[in-house]
Homo-oligomer: A and B are copies of this chain.
Amino acid sequence: MSHRSIDPSRLLGRIHELGEIGRDADGKLTRLAGSETERLGRDRLVSWLEDAGLEVAVDRIGNIFGIWNAGGVGEKPVMIGSHIDTVINAGIYDGCFGVLSGLEVIQTLKSQGFEPTRPIVVTAFTNEEGVRYAPDMMGSLVYSGGLDAATALEAVGTDGTVLGDELARIGYAGSHAPGFMTPHAYVELHIEQGPVLEREGVPVGAVQDLQGISWQKVTIDGDANHAGTTPISMRRDAGYAAARVITFLRDRAAASNTPTVATVGCIAFEPNAVNVIPSRATFTVDLRDPDEDRLRQEETALAAFLEQLAADEKVGISVERLARFEPVKFDPAIVRLIEAAASDRGLGCKRMTSGAGHDAQMIARIAPSAMIFVPSRGGISHNPKEFTADTDLVAGANILLDVVCGLATGELPK
């Protein structure tokens, strides 16, 4: 059985070429949204889109579109997207792999005389990472109507710049209204950024949902007494209370039969001295679950634990909500297309949950959407060590090719 295939060397060459843009003298790759280095990356992408004969459009929030209007002009397009902005000291695959694979798929279909019944569009969304400007996934959030463009453009960066000014400066303050094309369907190909596919030896992930996220900041107040002179029974030890929360969260998640994950990633003690009992402990709680009811249950269980802990340890506890996103269910029909494509090509495929946030979760508000994952070595991402084998990259792009062919020639399967 012979299959269509994208051009592996063209795709891999572009991934590595884009991966060199924004590398500093120390070899570190950083292309923050709206920055001068991101401008260079955007310019390169646009030149590739034009070389492929695509119509290039930019909307007000700086999202870039490469539109192939071959068939069904006026029909809702199949949209393939991701992002090309990066974190600080990034790897080369996160986001870029999805955008460049989208371009590769369209270029392959064009060159092979494929006749879609609707347009096919590749999109690079602005500021997915959210490192310089908050919130993250901003371009897709604005595109799907979840945030007003004018408000987003006023975002002040960590460096004091204003996003709208920076987009104008680098030439990417476009004129199209965000949301100007409503997708027929949206597909995003991405590295997993987690260890599951690699550990299980499965090359393709059919992503059926995306975890809801609950971020809280917990502050515990006790008394800063002398570590030598204060008997254990007289202590109000904020650090000990914080440790109780950390073990509670982890032990609860580990004991459950659910995909719930709980993480305490940040912590600080005050006054943070060897011989002083901590008067204050501040830490973050990151709770995630693909099921909204279960995520709420976890939040409730944490709140109950904190209330009991405050009474037991005679400490003050306050909680601040930092972020909250409901879980996203992707489109089952597109998930089945991904599974079918993998099966046709003899590739193992696993239905899975995305633990990270992606532009697809925003576009899912306005169009049937799903994601394809490929393995990440060691589960490492947002790091120069981020790596996916070339065979896995090419296999993922070919699955995307098949799925786009299906979406661009018929109605979505029910």
Report the interface size class on chain A. Answer: 35 or more
* Bound CA–CA A83/B288 (angstroms): 55
Which B residues are CB-close (under 8 A) to A150? Answer: none
Cβ of A277 within 8 Å of any chain B Cβ, yes or no, is yes
Q: Is there an interface contact between B265 and A355, defined as CB atoms closer than 8 Å?
A: no
Closest Cβ neighbor of A381 among chain B residues: B226
Cβ of A336 within 8 Å of any chain B Cβ, yes or no, is no
Which of A240, A259, A381, A383 has the most B CB atoms < 10 Å from its CB? A240
Residues in A lying within 8 Å of B, measured CB to CB: 192-196, 199, 211, 213, 215, 224-234, 237, 239-240, 242-244, 246-247, 250, 253-254, 259, 261-269, 272-278, 284, 286, 288, 322, 354-357, 379-383
Partner of A266, one of B265, B272, B379: B272
Q: Is there an interface contact between A229 and B274, defined as CB atoms closer than 8 Å?
A: no
With contacts A195-B234, A247-B243, A274-B284 taken as known, whether A263 is within 8 angstroms of B229 at the C-beta atoms is: no
Query: A267 to chain B: closest CB distance in Å?
Result: 5
Closest Cβ neighbor of A284 among chain B residues: B274
Closest Cβ neighbor of A245 among chain B residues: B243
Which B residues are CB-close (under 8 A) to A243? Answer: 242-244, 246-247, 250, 264
* Bound CA–CA A18/B193 (angstroms): 62
Given known contacts A228-B355, A232-B254, A243-B243, what 16 new A-B pairs fall within 8 Å (CB)? A215-B274, A226-B356, A226-B381, A227-B265, A227-B355, A230-B261, A230-B379, A231-B259, A231-B261, A232-B262, A233-B254, A239-B265, A243-B246, A265-B274, A266-B273, A267-B269
Query: A200 to chain B: closest CB distance in Å?
Result: 11
Query: A146 to chain B: closest CB distance in Å?
Result: 20
Partner of A261, one of B228, B247, B383: B228
Q: Is there an interface contact between B272 and A276, defined as CB atoms closer than 8 Å?
A: no
Which B residues are CB-close (under 8 A) to A199? Answer: 234
With contacts A278-B265, A379-B225 taken as known, whether A239 is within 8 angstroms of B231 at the C-beta atoms is: no
Which B residues are CB-close (under 8 A) to A192? Answer: 229
Which B residues are CB-close (under 8 A) to A232? Answer: 250, 253-254, 261-262
Q: Is there an interface contact between B269 and A274, defined as CB atoms closer than 8 Å?
A: no
* Bound CA–CA A254/B231 (angstroms): 9
Closest Cβ neighbor of A244 among chain B residues: B247
Q: Is there an interface contact between A239 and B230, defined as CB atoms closer than 8 Å?
A: no
* Bound CA–CA A177/B199 (angstroms): 69
Q: Is there an interface contact between A226 and B266, defined as CB atoms closer than 8 Å?
A: no
* Bound CA–CA A246/B232 (angstroms): 13
Query: A282 to chain B: closest CB distance in Å?
Result: 11
With contacts A237-B250, A263-B277, A267-B239 taken as known, whether A193 is within 8 angstroms of B284 at the C-beta atoms is: no
Query: A237 to chain B: closest CB distance in Å?
Result: 7
